[in-house]
Amino acid sequence: MTILHTKAIKSLKVLSWVGICCAGATLFAALAPAHGRRVADPAPRPASEFTTIAASSEGVVDSLNNLDRQGWDVMQIIPVWKLSQDAGATELQASSYRIFARRPVKTEGK
């Protein structure tokens, strides 16, 4: 027996073990989801109602407080800009705000 012959046999043995391990891992990965724990379907989202409010720049805080007292969740506040020019200077000012909110629909009997 030559040294080359024994090295070739050892490398084939190592490769065969690597192949067996890869085949086992592939088989495990293919069968594991079938025997895994089932995940329950997510609960349906409750129905929501939406509203939009226009608030002046001075009254935006009061409008937000009123919405909160009524159970609304504010999703977005968008400023409405006004372009003003004084003495050659152009300036953008928030003249009012649009407030978008939502809350769960109140169902009868709850």
pLDDT digit string (tens) for 9-18?
666 677 677 7
Q: Tell me the average pLDDT across 8-37.
A: 71
The answer to whether residues 93 and 81 touch, using CB atoms and an 8 Å cutoff, is yes
Token readout for 91 is 């300036």
pLDDT digits 0-9 by tens, 60-102: 999 999 999 999 999 999 999 988 888 888 888 888 999 999 9
Give the number of other CB atoms < 10 A from CB of residue 9. Answer: 11
- Output the pTM of the full model: 0.54
